[in-house]
């Protein structure tokens, strides 16, 4: 069973289009994240939701809108796609165990904007 699953895995689209990436986790975690990994492999946090509530919102263009219908799902919608949005987007969830914990990552969604 996949713990954190993202769809689609690959997405190729034209500039100006709108696209969504979906993420689901079956781990029962309360907190989920979106990270963006650019062509140089740099991972940057974008958003985080805790039990459907937005708790982290980094400096991300407002063309990016996350939505969490329930704590097991965190989707990412991107409007008016630009060339610079091409990247791999990773969804993750946080397991908290007392003071310890870790991020569990999905396999990523590679977005290519032409």
Partner 1 sequence: AQSVTQPDIHITVSEGASLELRCNYSYGATPYLFWYVQSPGQGLQLLLKYFSGDTLVQGIKGFEAEFKRSQSSFNLRKPSVHWSDAAEYFCAVGPLHSGGYQKVTFGTGTKLQVIP
Would you tell me which residues interact with partner 1 (CB under 8 A)?
Answer: 4, 30-31, 35, 40-45, 48, 50, 55-56, 90, 92, 94, 96, 99-103, 105-108
Instruction: Decide: 25 and 72 in contact? Cβ < 8 Å.
Output: yes
24 C-beta neighbours (distance < 10 Å), count: 19
In 27-81, DSSP assigns E strands to 31-37, 43-50, 53-57, 64-70, 73-78
Task: Closer to partner 1 by CB, 78 or 92: give it.
Answer: 92
- Taking the complex as a whole, how short is the minimal distance between the CB of residue 30 and partner 1, in angstroms? 8
- Taking the complex as a whole, how short is the minimal distance between the CB of residue 37 and partner 1, in angstroms? 9
Q: Which of 64, 113, 104 is nearest to 85 (CA)?
A: 113
Task: Closer to partner 1 by CB, 14 or 98: give it.
Answer: 98
Rounded distance between C-alpha atoms, residue 68 and residue 49, angstroms: 7
- Taking the complex as a whole, how short is the minimal distance between the CB of residue 80 and partner 1, in angstroms? 27
- Taking the complex as a whole, how short is the minimal distance between the CB of residue 98 and partner 1, in angstroms? 9
Task: Closer to partner 1 by CB, 13 or 104: give it.
Answer: 104
């Amino acid at each position: 069973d996949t713990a954190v699953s993202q769809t689609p895995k690959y997405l190729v689209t034209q500039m100006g289009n709108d696209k969504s990436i979906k993420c689901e986790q079956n781990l029962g975690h309360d907190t989920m994240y979106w990270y963006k990994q650019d062509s140089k492999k740099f991972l940057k946090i974008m958003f985080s939701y805790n039990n459907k509530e937005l708790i982290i919102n980094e400096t991300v263009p407002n063309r990016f809108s996350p939505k969490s219908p329930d704590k097991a799902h965190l989707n990412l919608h991107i409007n008016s796609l630009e060339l610079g949005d091409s990247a791999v987007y990773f969804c993750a969830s946080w397991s908290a165990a007392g003071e310890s914990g870790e991020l569990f990552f999905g396999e990523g969604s590679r977005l290519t904007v032409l």
